[in-house]
Amino acid sequence: MTSTEQQPALATTKRKFHKLLDNLTASNSTTSLASTLQESNASTASLSALSEPDSPEHPNKRPRSANLSMERQRGISEGQERIRQLKEQLMTPRREKTIKVVGKTVVTPKASTPRKAPNFQPYSQEHFLERLKTFADVRKWTTKPDAINEVEWAKRGWSCDIWNTVACKGGCENRVAVKLRPKRKDANGKDLEMSEDLAFDIDDALIDRYKDLIVEGHSDDCLWRKRGCQEDIYHIPIASRTKSSAELLDRYRFLKAIATDLPLLEHITYPDPPIQQILSRIPSSFFTSTGTQPPLSPSDTVAFVFALFGWTGVSESRISLAVCNHCFQRLGLWLSSATRLTEMSKKLDVPIESLRLNLLESHREHCPWKNADIQANEKDSPIANMPAWQTLQFMLLGRHKDIPTSGSGIQTPSKQTPRKSHQQHARNNDSVDIGSELEYPRGSFDSVERPKDVDEDEDGGLREKWSKLKAKLKRSASKKSLKSMKSGKSVKSGKSVATKAGDKEKS
């Protein structure tokens, strides 16, 4: 009687279970899980039925229907547990570093996030230039006096945020609005936003106030309030020959990519010496050692002139620009094209020579390529008081014998007597050629090659003379010859001393 009363309840429970299973999830995986569970329950019931004997001669054993009900309930509880775990996996958001799987946990590597660089790095020229670049947009920053120009603000950790407003981004987040002049007014007398009337003079007391705010504008606990960048943070390390040469060739390659948009050579101006003289003194190995072709065409020659004066080339929206990566000045090359200059010469009624592009004066006033004080070369070196462009040409075309070179390629000037005049200094620079250093490196005399421009005669006379010269150089450099030279000098010095003593006794 008990089994007959439980049978409808079991069927009802089974239908409710399948309905609940269908409502929990509609995915294919859950449906397949339900069907698998149903088959598993059916197979369990069939095995249970087969294991029961057919004869009713065992009164102590439970009825077969009761065993079947217990097995089904056990299967239902196990299925519900699996569904609960599956639901937890599907509905719970994935936690970082782990993936939950039914029955086990798989550990996955944590995604690496780039670490943000600290804001306070007074020694980093890269971060200084990043801050200085924010002042380059003329729509956000206008020209200020030297005491409070963009270089001074950038040295103390400030960046240009909005119109004539600086901010300590990534630091104390303070802001200072730099207002030196009143706004311009329109025809109706209303103030024009993001403008200033240049007709008004700047009050010196106002300049001093903003000069104090460069430091005091930071919060009390801000590190930029305690210390700024070092004074030579803007210095271009051209004295490092390897680095400066590589940067020069990089700028040259970028400019070669837009060589067709560069102005003609006669439409640009720059300080002496002429580019033909410079190229004649630079050996071809300077270019070929890095896989770069030397300037052969007129456009490549113009590209090298631009690179010598600190410019590099970029192309934005099919517009070619010459850009300085230190003062962030941008030159639209179409303004110096032959067609444009001819048109402006006729319109303004001025000679076309007066409209030529000046590669040096086009830099901003605070640029180290133009400003010798900002470049701040060492005072006791031959490159003292030279801007960056002149320093680069000195390192390329000449190097005085008083400047020893360390193994790292950085030149360490030695203290020598100063030059009598700047003209004599320039002449001595021109008399030294970097080609000798590249063509004849230091080493044994066996590594010295004979000049390629010397022609051989049929009898081999020049070859014999050259071999004798090399042998003579070897003898003069040997230890034995050095000792003999020293002993000879000592004997000669002894004779001269004795002679002088005898002359004194006679007198």
- Neighbouring C-alpha atoms within 13 Å toward the C-beta of 302: 23
Q: Which two tokens mark 220?
A: 């009390």
Q: Indicate the helix (H) or strand (E) that contains 111.
A: none
pLDDT digits (tens, 9 = 90+) for 276-318: 999 999 888 888 888 888 898 999 999 999 999 999 999 988 8
Flag the least confident range among 97-106, 289-298, 351-360, 411-420: 411-420
Check residue 191 and report its DSSP letter.
B
Q: Which two tokens mark 398?
A: 């000449």
pLDDT digits (tens, 9 = 90+) for 178-211: 999 988 888 888 888 888 888 888 989 999 999 9
Please state, in angstroms and rounded to a whole number, the distance separating the CA atoms of residues 147 and 211.
Answer: 7
Confidence at residue 434, expressed as pLDDT on a 0 to 100 scale: 32
The closest of 375, 105, 135 to 232, measured between CA atoms, is 375
* CA distances for 314 relative to 23, 129, 254, 291, 297, angstroms: 62, 18, 7, 21, 20
Chain-centroid distance, C-alpha 215: 28
The closest of 332, 314, 364 to 154, measured between CA atoms, is 364
Residue 212: which pLDDT band, with cuts at 50, 70 and 90? very high
Please give the single-letter amino acid code of residue 212.
D
pTM of this structure? 0.57
* CA distances for 77 relative to 63, 467, 499, angstroms: 22, 102, 125
CA angle 275-280-283, nearest 5°?
Answer: 120
The closest of 75, 83, 49 to 64, measured between CA atoms, is 49
* Residues 100, 108 contacting (CB under 8 angstroms): no
Query: With the CA atoms of 209, 211, 212 and 217 taken in that order, what torsion angle do they form, in degrees rounded to the nearest 10?
Result: 100
Please state, in angstroms and rounded to a whole number, the distance separating the CA atoms of residues 273 and 261.
Answer: 24
Hey, what long-range contacts does 281-285 have (CB within 8 A, 24 or more apart)? 281/397, 281/433, 281/434, 281/435, 282/396, 282/397, 282/434, 282/435, 283/434, 283/435, 283/438, 283/439, 285/438, 285/439
pLDDT digits (tens, 9 = 90+) for 235-286: 998 877 888 899 999 999 999 999 999 999 999 999 989 999 999 998 888 8
Q: Which residue has the tokens 């410079």?
A: 278
